């Protein structure tokens, strides 16, 4: 199996790791039948990719079964650049789009990573119009294959209100999680996204209120000690995460 190295992924501060812990546990309560989980949000920049990769890492570190992250933000994925993700052998990466376009076997796009138990299907290079790939039956087959190989499959996606990709992807998943950026995304927009997801008939497992200013002593603690880390934790507002993941 090919291998990816994630070069730049600092550990999370305690309060953020703890909030993710709660999300992971709540998702676990949804039942063993929920293996493929789509992470989405209404608009850009709400923290979908951040939460997906952090949740993936925590699930891989804590759990006993392998966890797969599929990057399905084909149009605009930032993951490779942001986390300095590179192929261990130096060879050119292949992603889900290669498989969906019939250019690679599924086994050739699933990478082992330097996170033990953590596997990834990256976006090798962005594409302008992935709709045709997402509507191809190969997409559902790919997700079903991955569900058979991994304990949990997390899927990162583009925002729901920009393009229809998320709705196409949701149809092949067991459940969805809607990320909401605290103090930024309107209630109306969140209701609209929930309604869109409902139409896919894939259960909305829960919502994550991301970057909430909890004002707690714990968040004050990590702001003091992690005021300028790579995630851009600022002093003016805390970047915490709270969740009500669960049915
Ligand atoms: N809870 C958090 N704590 C700290 N930083 C965060 C948090 N959530 C998101 N960020 C940061 O905010 C920025 C935007 O987050 P991210 O890229 O995950 O958003 P997104 O919803 O995936 O956006 P897009 O729709 O463009 O893909 C990133 O730099 C990310 O690291
Ligand atoms: Mg993203």
What pLDDT digit, counting tens, does each position of 5-16 carry? 999 999 999 999
Residue 47 Cβ inside 6 Å of ligand 1? The answer reads: yes
> Does the domain at residues 3-243 carry the CATH identifier 3.40.50.300?
yes
How much distance in Å is there from the Cα of 179 to the middle of ligand 2?
A: 11
pLDDT tens for the chain, residues 1 to 247: 999 999 999 999 999 999 999 999 999 999 999 999 999 999 999 999 999 999 999 999 998 899 999 999 999 999 999 999 999 999 999 999 999 999 999 999 999 999 999 999 999 989 999 999 999 999 999 999 999 999 999 999 999 998 899 999 999 999 999 999 999 999 999 999 999 999 999 999 999 999 987 665 444 443 443 333 322 222 223 345 555 543 3
Q: What is the pTM of this model?
A: 0.89
Determine contact, residues 51/41, Cβ cutoff 8 Å: no
Residue 10 Cβ inside 6 Å of ligand 1? The answer reads: no
Cα→Cα distances 145→25, 36, 50, 56, Å = 24, 11, 25, 18
If you count DSSP H runs as helices and E runs as strands, how many of each does the chain have, helices first?
9, 10
Determine contact, residues 114/57, Cβ cutoff 8 Å: no
How much distance in Å is there from the Cα of 82 to the middle of ligand 2?
A: 10
pLDDT in tens, 105-141: 999 999 999 999 999 999 998 999 999 999 999 999 9
Protein residue whose Cα sits closest to atom 16 of ligand 1:
47
Domain range summary for the chain, segments of one domain joined by + = 3-243
- CA 25, 82, 45, 158 torsion-angle sign: negative
Up-side HSE of residue 216: CA atoms within 13 Å toward CB?
13
Protein residue whose Cα sits closest to atom 7 of ligand 1:
47
The ligand 1 atom nearest the CA atom of 240: 1
């Amino acid at each position: 199996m090919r291998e990816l190295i994630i070069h730049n992924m600092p550990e999370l501060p305690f309060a953020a790791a703890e909030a993710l812990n709660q999300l992971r546990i709540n998702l676990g309560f949804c039942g063993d039948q929920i293996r493929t989980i789509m992470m989405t949000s209404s608009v850009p920049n709400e923290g979908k990719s951040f939460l997906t990769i952090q949740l993936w890492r925590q699930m891989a570190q804590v759990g006993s079964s392998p966890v797969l992250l599929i990057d399905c933000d084909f149009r605009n994925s930032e993951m490779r650049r942001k986390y300095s993700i590179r192929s261990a052998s130096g060879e050119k990466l292949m992603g889900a789009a290669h498989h969906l376009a019939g250019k690679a076997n599924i086994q050739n796009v699933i990478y082992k990573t330097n996170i033990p138990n953590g596997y990834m299907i990256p976006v090798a290079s962005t594409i302008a119009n992935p709709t045709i790939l997402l509507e191809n039956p190969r997409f559902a087959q790919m997700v079903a294959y991955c569900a058979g190989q991994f304990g949990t499959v997390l899927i990162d996606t583009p925002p729901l209100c920009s393009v229809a990709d998320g709705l196409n992807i949701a149809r092949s998943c067991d459940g969805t999680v809607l990320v909401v950026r605290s103090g930024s995304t309107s209630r109306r927009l969140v209701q609209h996204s929930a309604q869109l997801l409902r139409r896919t008939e894939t259960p909305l497992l829960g919502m994550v209120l991301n970057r909430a200013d909890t004002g707690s002593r714990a968040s004050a603690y990590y702001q003091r000690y992690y005021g300028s880390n790579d995630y851009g934790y600022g002093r003016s507002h805390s970047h915490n995460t709270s969740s009500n993941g669960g049915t």
